[in-house]
Structure 1
């Protein structure tokens, strides 16, 4: 994962430098802030919440200028992944591993975001963002 992050960062920066508006979404397999996982203290030394992973996200947001779309509209603890061990899903002891990262020009297009939990398909739940983008 670390090799991939090192290689993809300049690509993201280049795409943004071309003046394109971007929505980059998927399972990033890491959390950015303490609010993004239920048991952050116990997971500080675990993959997905390591200091260098969080620093990479800081760099993406603070230096490259990308934006966590969901955090633009929601400051609540919301999770998209739960371990299959124990009762993690039932007790909502999860991690927010799935992101929509956008260029700043799309901030005003963000309308809503939520995690679909009506049905369970896997250890991840569908993470849905609603944008109002005129073509």
Structure 2
């Protein structure tokens, strides 16, 4: 089973850069997209319904051209969920879940706090609110794959400029401690680190300066899985050869 996660930073923009041609070659079972920045009614071109896939979008209702998540699936899911029961989060189009038997694949877009303190405080509130949900999911007996842009690095190996970013959103101690809680206490597994414990690779680069060319990046895109899936992790990769977005696609292969 192959799952790909990508923050498209505008699905229509990524389409003009060849993302759908690339996806066609990957033979993924599930593709999780974030930051589609479109309303589904705007995606009438057949390219936004890739052949052979069931396609599901959850758009931002709060404002157009903002946020939004999607799932493309070879197999028709048993169920699609788009609400976690918190309107200010749900209306921003930040969660969609596909259920297949005992497996859930989720496309998440965790808020960024980089625009200012108000959004950073909102991000902290969302982290606090999500914690008991993640506890419940981890204890449920279901297998979960939580894909997406989490807007948080975890360790020194996940960011080029560790020291200078300690006071910046996405690298704050409180944010990194939250990932510690998920991984070390609740038991969620960072698939990239499970497969590549010592690797230094990034999934996002600022559009400012020559960040991508100089590989001044952050690893903020994840596939976080329940412990029962750890032994099914086979391989993972971050694709950088083409630039579809300021993020890179993150692919994980799982044993059936």
Answer yes or no: is 1:70 the counterpart of 2:70.
no
Query: Are 2:175 and 1:53 equivalent residues in the alignment?
Result: yes
Q: Distance in 2 between matches of 1:17 and 1:108?
A: 18
Distance 1:7 1:130 in 2: 30
Per-residue deviation at 1:12?
Answer: 1.2
Higher RCO, Cα 8 Å, sep 6+: 1
Larger Rg: 2
Instruction: Determine the structure 2 residue equivalent to 1:27.
Output: 149
**Which structure carries more strand by proportion?**
2
Residue 9 of structure 1, CA deviation: 1.2
In structure 1, what is the Cα distance between the partners aligned to 2:179 and 2:211?
A: 25
Find the counterpart in structure 1 of residue 249 from structure 2: 126
Over residues 5-64 of structure 1, what are the superposed CA-to-partner deviations in whole Å (9 max), with x where a residue is unaligned? Answer: 111111111112111111111000010001000011110111000000010000001111
User: Is 1:6 aligned to residue 128 of structure 2?
Assistant: yes
Q: Matched residues in 2 for 1:45 and 1:18: separation? A: 36
- Alignment of structure 1 residues 34-45 onto 2, 5 Å: 34-45=156-167
Shift of 1:108: 0.9
Task: Give the SS at the match of 1:12.
Answer: helix
3-state SS of paired residue (2:234)? strand
- Residue by residue over 1:69-100, the C-alpha shift from the partner in whole angstroms, topping out at 9 and shown as x without a partner, is 11011121100000001111011110001011
* In 2: Cα distance, 1:54 partner to 1:17 partner: 22
Residue 16 of structure 1 aligns to a residue whose secondary structure is helix
Aligned length, in residue pairs: 133
Equivalent-residue separation in structure 2 for 1:97 and 1:63 (angstroms): 20
Give unpaired runs (5+ residues) of structure 1: none
Greater than 3 Å deviation, 4+ residue runs: none
Q: Which runs of 5+ in 2 are unaligned?
A: 1-122
Tell me, in whole angstroms, the C-alpha distance in 2 between the residues paired with 1:47 and 1:117. Answer: 24
2:204 to 56, 75, 81: 81
